[in-house]
Amino acid sequence: MSILSGMRALLGASLALCVGACGGGGSGDPTERSTSLGTVVGVQASGAYAWKGIPFAKPPVGALRWKAPADPDPWTRLDATRFGNACLQNGRIYGPGSNNTYDATIAATLNTPVGSEDCLTLNVWRPSHPLANLPVIFFVYGGSNISGYSADPVYDGAALAKAANAVVVTANYRVGPLGFFNLAQLKGGTNAAEDSGNFALLDLIQALKFVKTNAAAFGGNAGNVTLVGQSAGAINVWALLTAPSAAGLFHRAVPLSGGISLASNLPPGNIPTLNPASTYAAQANALLARLLIADGKAADMASALTYIAGQSAADIATYMRGKDAKVLLSTLLASGLTGSGPIPDGTLVPTDPIGAIAAGRYNKMPVLAGNTGEEGKLFAPFLTLLGGPPGFKITDAVRFNMMANFDPNAATTLTEADILDPAYVPSGTPVAGWTAKAGLLASVFLAPARDNALNTLKTQQSDVWYYRFDWAQEPAPWNKIYGAAHAFDLPFLFGNFGPSLFSNAVNSNANQPGRLALSAAMMASLGAFARNGDPNTPELGTTWQPWPKRLVFDATPAQARIATE
């Protein structure tokens, strides 16, 4: 046998072993995999395999509402070709419509309940080659922790799985008052994690446990999981980085455009990314009282509190679990009580996560963080915090339809004055213009939380990297309206440019060459970080140095432009 023939035989034997290690079913169908819960049958598309809608917990309904996720019942053979339901949430421009995806119904379902309480499912993608022991990239969606869904087309994992040569996982988790709820009468006293009220974080821990048990079935390495989260998802990643019960479930962290700072961690005048547990206790108590008033059990807040004091904890818990979840959401929305996020209870999440990191009490691992260069341009309503009107003069429904019908490759009469409040036009006006005001907002919101978290982390470890995403090549007027806005790095990291919420406003034929080149470099870098805890890769064309240095991701219409600052 020649050396070449021997090498071919050895490679063939290795690939055959890899097919077995990847968990291929006995039928020989690579879309059929055996998990700890039963066989799942997925689909092949675009050079990748995908399994969608895999339950990782029982539906958290009825008596299981506001409970820690319970292991699902096993199955024999699961059709894993369709996404599971989005978790119940009030419709937002960033969430699903009535069909669990991006479509025209989003504009018609704003501020009305969409999704389902039966929603705890995850999705898996991997390259269609047979190799095993691939790094796992687990993504946590954003949405202010009141919305978000894994079926968002931007989060399809096929392109990233191929480019990063990794297994990509996304999961639905409870949001809003079903995901984070701090009501004393729901605490049973026998499960401290459950009593924390952090049901969304418990969902993510449960999903990570599924990955740890079943990664090999999809060709992944359970000992090499990278947890990525954006916006609220990044806040949740930071929370899990400090959660003792999440130890060993992931090994690298990528929090993008989020932080974990209390007001007490920041200089005065800045906006925290984390509220104390007392804030969420007040929210839960206020919701309970308003529900009782709406049901005629009390006439006003004072009598509602009197009524509550006369009920047992079990009675209140039964009452709350018996309420239609859509009523819970609509009551919260009508009352302006919609804030949501990790509850620093002292058990699941430290009462001061930044303090815990400073003391070395966290799950130490390589961290890659990032922000966009113009975060504030996606937070137009927040400009009221600076004393001015909201940034946009049009409703979300109008803006949604405006973007959906926009042709990025045709001349347009649309101008920034059609979208922005007159107070911020022209957008480039120093101090008072849209760009300046959005920049000021970002400087008191996400930037202080970034510096607080990364500078604290750097006192404990050296392997901390950071990027800023500056790409702003959208067709006019969106290049001024959005530019490098919050979340605009996500399509580049996933390699997905539509159809999705912002795709028509952002992606033109003119900017395609540079956009695709930048996306390829960003996916390659994320893949390198997932493999070995260091984001450096030849595709960057430069050396990425650890924080406080930063890598700037940008592109001209024709080519990527990546530099170190």
In a shared domain, residues 424 and 558: yes
CATH number at residue 38: 3.40.50.1820
The residue type at 448: P
Q: Measured at the alpha carbon of residue 259, what is the angle toward residues 156 and 543, in degrees to the nearest 5? A: 70
Q: Per the domain annotation, does 347 fall within a domain?
A: no
Cβ atoms of 44 and 81 within 8 Å: the answer is no
| Residues 376 and 505 placed together within one structural domain of the fold | yes
In a domain, 475, yes or no: yes
SS3 per residue for 201-215: HHHHHHHHHHHHHHH
Alpha-helical regions (H) of 359-506: 396-404, 434-444, 446-458, 478-481, 490-494, 503-506
150 close to 171: Cβ distance less than 8 angstroms: yes
pLDDT in tens, the chain (565 residues): 333 333 333 333 333 334 333 444 446 899 999 999 999 999 998 899 999 999 999 999 999 999 999 999 999 999 999 999 999 999 999 999 999 999 999 999 999 999 999 999 999 999 999 999 999 999 999 999 999 999 999 999 999 999 999 999 999 999 999 999 999 999 999 999 999 999 999 999 999 999 999 999 999 999 999 999 999 999 999 999 999 999 999 999 999 999 999 999 999 999 999 999 999 999 999 999 999 999 999 999 999 999 999 999 999 999 999 999 999 999 999 998 889 999 999 999 999 999 999 999 999 999 999 999 999 999 999 999 999 999 999 999 999 999 999 999 999 999 999 999 999 999 999 999 999 999 999 999 999 999 999 999 999 999 999 999 999 999 999 999 999 999 999 999 999 999 999 999 999 999 999 999 999 999 999 999 999 999 999 999 999 999 999 999 999 999 999 999 9
Range list of H helices, 266-312: 277-294, 301-309
Residue 169 lies in a domain: yes
Strands 252-256 and 367-372: parallel
Per-residue confidence (pLDDT) for residue 7, from 0 to 100: 32
Whether 255 and 374 map to the same domain: the answer is no
pLDDT, residue 16, reads 33
DSSP label at 74? P
Structural domains of the chain, count: 2
State which residues form the domain around 106.
Answer: 3-263
pLDDT of residue 137: 99
**Same-domain pairing of 257 and 396:** no
Task: State residue 27's pLDDT score.
Answer: 64
**Residue 6: what pLDDT?**
35
Which CA distances in Å does 151 have to 54, 103, 174, 416, 429?
13, 12, 14, 31, 39
- The answer to whether 237 touches 254, Cβ cutoff 8 Å, is yes
**293 is a domain residue:** no
End-of-domain residue from the set 263, 292, 315: 263
Q: Does 259 lie in the same domain as 374?
A: no
Task: Using the 3D structure, point to which of 210, 245, 263 is the last residue of a domain.
Answer: 263
Query: Can you give the pLDDT at residue 70?
Result: 98
Q: Which pTM does this prediction carry?
A: 0.95
The whole-angstrom separation of Cα 467 and Cα 459 is: 19
Q: Is residue 558 a part of any domain in this protein?
A: yes
**Range list of H helices, 411-445:** 434-444
Task: Answer whether residue 144 is part of any domain.
Answer: yes
Q: Where are the beta strands (DSSP E) in 128-234?
A: 134-140, 167-171, 220-230
Could you tell me if 82 and 211 lie in one domain?
A: yes
- Please indicate, yes or no, whether residues 256 and 374 belong to a single structural domain of this protein: no
Asked if residue 476 belongs to a domain, the reply is: yes
Largest pairwise CA distance in the chain: 91
Q: Can you tell me whether residue 63 is helix, strand or coil?
A: helix
Q: Of 211, 230, 263, which one is at a domain's C-terminal end?
A: 263
Radius of gyration of the chain (CA): 24
Does some domain include residue 286?
no
